[in-house]
Amino acid sequence: MACGYELKETLLTLSKLCLRFGARPVLSEVCAEVRNVTRPGVLQGQVVAVLGPSGVGKTQLLRLISGLSLPDSGQVLVGREQTPVRCGRVGVVAQQYPLFEHRTLLDNLAVAARQAGLSRGECLSKSRQLLARFALEEHAQAYPVTLSGGQRQRAAIAQQLILPKPLLMMDEPFSGLDPLMTREVCRLIAEVAARDEQLTILLVTHDISAALAVADTLWLLGRVRTETGEPCGARIVRRFDLMERGLAWHPDVTRLPEFESTKREVEARFGEL
Protein backbone atom coordinates (compact mmCIF):
# COMPACT_ATOMS: atom_id res chain seq x y z
CA MET A 1 0.00 0.00 0.00
CA ALA A 2 1.35 3.42 -0.95
CA CYS A 3 -0.28 6.83 -1.45
CA GLY A 4 -3.73 5.35 -0.76
CA TYR A 5 -3.77 2.70 -3.47
CA GLU A 6 -2.57 -0.84 -4.12
CA LEU A 7 -1.76 -2.71 -7.34
CA LYS A 8 -3.17 -6.21 -7.49
CA GLU A 9 -3.76 -8.75 -10.27
CA THR A 10 -2.94 -8.08 -13.92
CA LEU A 11 -5.95 -7.13 -16.07
CA LEU A 12 -4.28 -6.45 -19.44
CA THR A 13 -1.03 -7.76 -20.91
CA LEU A 14 0.59 -6.72 -24.18
CA SER A 15 3.29 -9.23 -24.99
CA LYS A 16 5.78 -8.38 -27.75
CA LEU A 17 3.17 -7.15 -30.25
CA CYS A 18 4.58 -6.72 -33.75
CA LEU A 19 2.80 -5.47 -36.86
CA ARG A 20 4.00 -4.80 -40.40
CA PHE A 21 2.29 -3.41 -43.48
CA GLY A 22 4.18 -5.17 -46.24
CA ALA A 23 7.84 -4.31 -45.78
CA ARG A 24 7.06 -1.37 -43.44
CA PRO A 25 7.27 -2.04 -39.71
CA VAL A 26 4.45 -0.34 -37.77
CA LEU A 27 4.72 -1.74 -34.25
CA SER A 28 7.76 -3.48 -32.80
CA GLU A 29 7.59 -5.66 -29.67
CA VAL A 30 5.08 -3.53 -27.78
CA CYS A 31 5.07 -4.69 -24.16
CA ALA A 32 2.97 -3.37 -21.26
CA GLU A 33 0.60 -4.42 -18.52
CA VAL A 34 -2.27 -2.90 -16.55
CA ARG A 35 -2.88 -4.07 -13.00
CA ASN A 36 -5.99 -3.76 -10.89
CA VAL A 37 -5.83 -0.53 -8.85
CA THR A 38 -7.63 -0.68 -5.51
CA ARG A 39 -8.28 2.24 -3.17
CA PRO A 40 -9.71 1.94 0.35
CA GLY A 41 -13.43 2.71 0.37
CA VAL A 42 -13.46 3.71 -3.31
CA LEU A 43 -14.65 1.82 -6.39
CA GLN A 44 -11.86 2.53 -8.85
CA GLY A 45 -11.30 1.33 -12.40
CA GLN A 46 -8.14 1.94 -14.40
CA VAL A 47 -7.65 4.71 -17.00
CA VAL A 48 -4.64 4.46 -19.30
CA ALA A 49 -3.90 7.03 -22.01
CA VAL A 50 -1.82 6.13 -25.06
CA LEU A 51 -0.06 9.21 -26.43
CA GLY A 52 2.12 9.63 -29.48
CA PRO A 53 2.75 11.71 -32.60
CA SER A 54 0.33 11.52 -35.51
CA GLY A 55 0.93 8.46 -37.67
CA VAL A 56 3.01 6.63 -35.07
CA GLY A 57 0.62 3.67 -34.88
CA LYS A 58 -1.78 4.49 -32.01
CA THR A 59 -4.91 3.44 -33.90
CA GLN A 60 -3.24 0.24 -35.10
CA LEU A 61 -2.33 -0.58 -31.51
CA LEU A 62 -5.97 0.03 -30.51
CA ARG A 63 -7.12 -2.40 -33.19
CA LEU A 64 -4.74 -5.09 -31.93
CA ILE A 65 -5.74 -4.63 -28.29
CA SER A 66 -9.45 -4.72 -29.17
CA GLY A 67 -9.11 -7.85 -31.32
CA LEU A 68 -10.21 -6.03 -34.48
CA SER A 69 -6.85 -6.84 -36.09
CA LEU A 70 -4.31 -9.60 -35.53
CA PRO A 71 -0.62 -8.95 -34.84
CA ASP A 72 2.09 -10.58 -36.91
CA SER A 73 3.46 -11.86 -33.61
CA GLY A 74 2.86 -11.44 -29.89
CA GLN A 75 -0.44 -11.55 -28.02
CA VAL A 76 -2.95 -9.56 -25.99
CA LEU A 77 -4.34 -11.07 -22.77
CA VAL A 78 -7.38 -9.51 -21.08
CA GLY A 79 -9.30 -9.83 -17.83
CA ARG A 80 -8.49 -11.45 -14.54
CA GLU A 81 -8.23 -14.81 -16.31
CA GLN A 82 -5.70 -13.36 -18.79
CA THR A 83 -7.28 -15.01 -21.80
CA PRO A 84 -6.36 -14.08 -25.38
CA VAL A 85 -8.42 -11.16 -26.69
CA ARG A 86 -11.12 -11.81 -29.24
CA CYS A 87 -13.26 -9.42 -31.23
CA GLY A 88 -16.39 -8.47 -29.29
CA ARG A 89 -14.99 -9.05 -25.82
CA VAL A 90 -13.56 -5.53 -25.69
CA GLY A 91 -15.74 -2.43 -25.96
CA VAL A 92 -14.69 0.11 -28.59
CA VAL A 93 -15.98 3.68 -28.83
CA ALA A 94 -14.87 4.93 -32.24
CA GLN A 95 -14.03 8.58 -32.90
CA GLN A 96 -17.29 9.35 -34.73
CA TYR A 97 -19.53 7.51 -32.20
CA PRO A 98 -21.33 5.42 -34.85
CA LEU A 99 -24.98 4.65 -34.10
CA PHE A 100 -27.79 3.21 -36.22
CA GLU A 101 -29.26 6.41 -37.68
CA HIS A 102 -32.59 4.75 -38.57
CA ARG A 103 -33.21 3.58 -35.00
CA THR A 104 -34.14 5.51 -31.87
CA LEU A 105 -31.61 5.81 -29.08
CA LEU A 106 -33.46 3.18 -27.03
CA ASP A 107 -33.44 0.82 -30.02
CA ASN A 108 -29.71 1.39 -30.54
CA LEU A 109 -28.99 0.14 -27.04
CA ALA A 110 -31.57 -2.65 -27.27
CA VAL A 111 -29.91 -3.98 -30.46
CA ALA A 112 -26.59 -4.21 -28.62
CA ALA A 113 -28.34 -5.96 -25.72
CA ARG A 114 -29.97 -8.50 -28.04
CA GLN A 115 -26.62 -9.23 -29.66
CA ALA A 116 -25.30 -9.88 -26.16
CA GLY A 117 -27.97 -12.58 -25.73
CA LEU A 118 -30.41 -10.82 -23.38
CA SER A 119 -34.14 -11.48 -23.56
CA ARG A 120 -36.48 -8.79 -24.92
CA GLY A 121 -37.54 -7.74 -21.44
CA GLU A 122 -33.94 -7.65 -20.22
CA CYS A 123 -32.92 -5.66 -23.30
CA LEU A 124 -35.41 -2.89 -22.65
CA SER A 125 -34.80 -2.82 -18.90
CA LYS A 126 -31.01 -2.68 -19.22
CA SER A 127 -31.20 -0.10 -22.02
CA ARG A 128 -33.48 2.21 -20.03
CA GLN A 129 -31.25 1.90 -16.96
CA LEU A 130 -28.21 2.97 -18.95
CA LEU A 131 -30.02 5.84 -20.67
CA ALA A 132 -31.01 7.14 -17.23
CA ARG A 133 -27.47 6.60 -15.91
CA PHE A 134 -26.05 8.76 -18.72
CA ALA A 135 -28.74 11.47 -18.51
CA LEU A 136 -30.28 10.41 -21.84
CA GLU A 137 -33.62 9.11 -20.64
CA GLU A 138 -35.59 11.99 -22.18
CA HIS A 139 -33.98 11.22 -25.56
CA ALA A 140 -34.97 7.53 -25.57
CA GLN A 141 -37.26 7.96 -28.60
CA ALA A 142 -34.99 10.44 -30.39
CA TYR A 143 -32.95 9.55 -33.46
CA PRO A 144 -29.14 10.01 -33.44
CA VAL A 145 -29.27 12.85 -35.99
CA THR A 146 -31.07 15.00 -33.43
CA LEU A 147 -28.43 14.50 -30.72
CA SER A 148 -25.45 16.71 -29.93
CA GLY A 149 -21.93 15.36 -30.18
CA GLY A 150 -21.73 14.96 -26.42
CA GLN A 151 -25.02 13.08 -26.30
CA ARG A 152 -23.89 10.76 -29.11
CA GLN A 153 -20.68 10.06 -27.22
CA ARG A 154 -22.57 9.20 -24.03
CA ALA A 155 -24.87 6.96 -26.04
CA ALA A 156 -21.93 5.18 -27.68
CA ILE A 157 -20.33 4.54 -24.27
CA ALA A 158 -23.65 3.31 -22.83
CA GLN A 159 -24.00 0.95 -25.81
CA GLN A 160 -20.64 -0.65 -24.93
CA LEU A 161 -21.63 -1.07 -21.27
CA ILE A 162 -24.73 -3.17 -21.96
CA LEU A 163 -22.81 -6.17 -20.64
CA PRO A 164 -19.67 -5.95 -18.47
CA LYS A 165 -16.42 -6.10 -20.43
CA PRO A 166 -12.90 -6.03 -19.02
CA LEU A 167 -11.70 -3.27 -21.33
CA LEU A 168 -13.23 -0.18 -22.97
CA MET A 169 -11.23 1.45 -25.76
CA MET A 170 -11.83 5.06 -26.79
CA ASP A 171 -10.27 6.44 -29.98
CA GLU A 172 -9.50 10.20 -29.79
CA PRO A 173 -12.36 11.05 -27.39
CA PHE A 174 -11.22 14.70 -27.16
CA SER A 175 -10.81 15.36 -30.88
CA GLY A 176 -12.34 18.66 -31.98
CA LEU A 177 -13.74 19.53 -28.55
CA ASP A 178 -13.55 22.96 -26.95
CA PRO A 179 -12.06 23.25 -23.42
CA LEU A 180 -15.43 23.12 -21.65
CA MET A 181 -16.54 20.00 -23.51
CA THR A 182 -13.12 18.39 -22.96
CA ARG A 183 -13.56 18.82 -19.21
CA GLU A 184 -17.03 17.30 -19.45
CA VAL A 185 -15.70 14.27 -21.33
CA CYS A 186 -12.94 13.86 -18.71
CA ARG A 187 -15.62 13.91 -16.02
CA LEU A 188 -17.65 11.31 -17.91
CA ILE A 189 -14.64 9.00 -18.33
CA ALA A 190 -13.82 9.25 -14.61
CA GLU A 191 -17.47 8.48 -13.82
CA VAL A 192 -17.48 5.39 -16.05
CA ALA A 193 -14.21 4.19 -14.49
CA ALA A 194 -15.79 4.45 -11.05
CA ARG A 195 -18.55 1.98 -12.04
CA ASP A 196 -16.39 -1.16 -11.96
CA GLU A 197 -13.07 -1.93 -10.28
CA GLN A 198 -12.28 -4.54 -12.93
CA LEU A 199 -12.86 -2.16 -15.85
CA THR A 200 -9.89 -0.66 -17.66
CA ILE A 201 -10.48 2.31 -19.96
CA LEU A 202 -7.79 2.82 -22.56
CA LEU A 203 -7.76 6.16 -24.36
CA VAL A 204 -5.90 6.73 -27.61
CA THR A 205 -5.26 10.46 -27.90
CA HIS A 206 -2.82 13.22 -28.81
CA ASP A 207 -4.23 15.64 -26.21
CA ILE A 208 -1.59 15.72 -23.45
CA SER A 209 -3.51 17.99 -21.06
CA ALA A 210 -6.72 15.96 -21.23
CA ALA A 211 -4.81 12.71 -20.81
CA LEU A 212 -3.06 14.04 -17.71
CA ALA A 213 -6.37 15.26 -16.31
CA VAL A 214 -8.18 11.93 -16.47
CA ALA A 215 -5.65 9.06 -16.62
CA ASP A 216 -3.77 7.26 -13.88
CA THR A 217 -1.10 6.05 -16.33
CA LEU A 218 0.33 7.35 -19.61
CA TRP A 219 2.00 5.24 -22.26
CA LEU A 220 4.10 7.19 -24.72
CA LEU A 221 4.30 5.47 -28.10
CA GLY A 222 7.30 6.33 -30.25
CA ARG A 223 9.28 4.97 -33.19
CA VAL A 224 12.48 3.11 -32.48
CA ARG A 225 15.47 2.17 -34.62
CA THR A 226 17.97 -0.65 -34.71
CA GLU A 227 21.60 -0.15 -33.75
CA THR A 228 22.35 0.46 -37.42
CA GLY A 229 19.70 3.20 -37.63
CA GLU A 230 17.06 1.20 -39.51
CA PRO A 231 13.44 1.90 -38.45
CA CYS A 232 11.77 -1.03 -36.72
CA GLY A 233 8.35 0.31 -35.84
CA ALA A 234 6.92 1.91 -32.72
CA ARG A 235 6.75 0.71 -29.15
CA ILE A 236 6.01 2.14 -25.71
CA VAL A 237 9.14 4.19 -25.04
CA ARG A 238 8.07 5.75 -21.74
CA ARG A 239 5.52 5.07 -19.01
CA PHE A 240 4.32 7.87 -16.71
CA ASP A 241 2.83 6.68 -13.41
CA LEU A 242 0.46 9.50 -12.46
CA MET A 243 -0.60 7.70 -9.28
CA GLU A 244 2.95 7.76 -8.00
CA ARG A 245 3.22 11.44 -8.93
CA GLY A 246 0.08 12.31 -6.98
CA LEU A 247 -1.83 13.42 -10.10
CA ALA A 248 -4.41 10.63 -10.39
CA TRP A 249 -7.99 11.09 -9.13
CA HIS A 250 -7.41 14.71 -8.11
CA PRO A 251 -10.51 16.91 -8.69
CA ASP A 252 -8.44 20.03 -9.44
CA VAL A 253 -5.41 18.33 -10.94
CA THR A 254 -4.79 21.04 -13.55
CA ARG A 255 -4.12 23.54 -10.74
CA LEU A 256 -1.27 21.50 -9.25
CA PRO A 257 2.35 22.54 -9.98
CA GLU A 258 3.10 18.86 -10.67
CA PHE A 259 0.56 18.92 -13.49
CA GLU A 260 2.43 21.61 -15.43
CA SER A 261 5.84 20.07 -14.78
CA THR A 262 4.65 16.65 -15.95
CA LYS A 263 3.03 18.20 -19.02
CA ARG A 264 6.33 19.90 -19.91
CA GLU A 265 8.15 16.60 -19.41
CA VAL A 266 5.76 14.74 -21.74
CA GLU A 267 5.98 17.52 -24.34
CA ALA A 268 9.78 17.37 -24.18
CA ARG A 269 9.70 13.63 -24.83
CA PHE A 270 7.36 14.26 -27.79
CA GLY A 271 10.03 16.49 -29.28
CA GLU A 272 12.50 13.61 -29.16
CA LEU A 273 10.29 11.14 -31.03
Show me where the domains of the chain are located: 6-90+166-272, 99-164
Q: Give me the pLDDT at residue 212, please.
A: 96
Decide which of 3.40.50.450, 3.40.50.11750, 2.60.260.20, 3.40.50.300 is the CATH code for 6-90+166-272. Answer: 3.40.50.300
Contact 68, 112 (CB under 8 A): no
**Helix ranges restricted to H, 67-178:** 105-115, 120-133, 149-160
Which residue type is seen at 199? L
Q: What angle do CA 185, 190, 191 make, to 5 degrees?
A: 95
Stretches where the chain sits below pLDDT 50 are 1-2
Q: Give me the pLDDT at residue 1, please.
A: 34
Distance CA 48, CA 77 (A): 16
* Cβ neighbours, 10 Å, residue 255: 9
Q: Give me the pLDDT at residue 3, please.
A: 57
Q: pTM here?
A: 0.89
For 39-154, where are the E strands, in sequence order?
46-51, 73-78, 83-84, 91-93
Q: Give me the pLDDT at residue 29, please.
A: 93
